[in-house]
Amino acid sequence: MSTPGPERVPSTVKVGKTTGQGNPPSGKPGTGRPGGANRPTGKGKGKKGRKITPVKPGGNGGPIAIAVVVVLIAVGIIGWGVWASIKSDKEKETPWEDRAAAIAGIVNYREDPDKSLTARDHKTGPLTYKLNPPVGGEHNARWQNCMGDVYDAQIPTEHAVHSLEHGAVWVTYKPGLPADQVEALTSKVKGKSFSMLSPFPNQESNISLQAWGYQLKVDSADDPRIDEFIRALSLNASVEPGIPCSGGLTTTGTTPSLTGQ
């Protein structure tokens, strides 16, 4: 019985390589590599031995979606700004008289044969007007402050008419108009030069807008013609250009200044 020699350890064969000695130079036919020179030499982890990371569904979807939304919002804002600028420029190019005439329902009393409706004489004491509210006519020498003033009570008509002469838009509403409607009108007038708001008893419509020689009657504060009227006629309708709306009376009531001073 022979004595066993040292245990022989078998060679380990790696994928993509051959064992043995005396192999020809790699990259040429006959190298002993399966498939010849075109056989990949990696270790099964992708080209050049790099590990291929699987793509996770929706990995970048969130950031991309947010970026798209931001871009769309920015484009919308820019687009609106361009549109507003073009609209504003077009309005500046169009004479205010034409813009006023384009407002549905507006009445131009400057063209009325009855010139007493737009008379400009100063008189003291209470005066009677043919229109209710008036759009012009004889008035007190003192004007009502019209720098976006909001009056919660009736103001002297004789002073308000003088404010119209300076270019103010006088917005009036029927007493008892719902509070939310009054609030909506307030937001359109408050703090805006050459405008004022007050209740006016006995007017036919819920809301009436007056500028010198012009009038528009509407039923709701949501009517877009209100903004159109103010935009077209405020200051523009003045028949005394350059005279301010500040420095006027701020008192309420029905009795005009008796001295006109």
Please check the confidence at residue 20 and state whether its pLDDT lies above 50.
Answer: no
Please check the confidence at residue 218 and state whether its pLDDT lies above 70.
Answer: yes
Identity at 159, one-letter amino acid code: H
Q: Where are the chain's structural domains?
A: 100-118+132-233
Q: What number is the average pLDDT over the span 246-258?
A: 94
Please check the confidence at residue 60 and state whether its pLDDT lies above 80.
Answer: no
Decide if 206 contacts 178 (C-beta within 8 A).
no
96, burial (CB in 10 Å: exposed 0-12, middle 13-18, buried 19+) = middle
Q: What number is the average pLDDT over the span 189-210?
A: 97
- pLDDT tens readout for residues 135-189: 999 999 999 999 999 999 999 999 999 999 999 999 999 999 999 999 999 999 9
Q: How confident is the model at residue 117 (pLDDT cuts 50, 70, 90)?
A: very high
Q: Which residue, chain included where needed, has tokens 């130079």? A: 25
One-letter-per-residue 3-state SS of the chain: CCCCCCCCCCCCCCCCCCCCCCCCCCCCCCCCCCCHHHCCCCCCCCHHHCCCCCCCCCCCHHHHHHHHHHHHHHHHHHHHHHHHHHHHHHHHHCCHHHHHHCCCCCEEHHHCCCHHHHCCCECCCCCCCCCCCCCCCCECCCCECCEEEECCCCCCHHHHHHHHHHCCEEEEECCCCCHHHHHHHHHHHCCCCCEEEEECCCCCCCEEEEECCEEEEECCCCCCHHHHHHHHHCCCCCCCCCCCCCCCECCCCCCCCCCCC
- Candidate CATH numbers 3.90.320, 1.10.1060, 3.40.30, 3.40.50; the one for domain 100-118+132-233: 3.40.30
Residue 205, CA distances (Å) to 54, 117, 182, 198, 235 in order: 73, 20, 14, 14, 24
Decide if 177 contacts 151 (C-beta within 8 A).
no
Residue 197: φ, ψ to 5°: -135, 135
pLDDT of 102 reads: 98
Nearest to 166 by CA among 250, 243, 109, 100: 243
Q: What number is the average pLDDT over the span 227-235?
A: 98
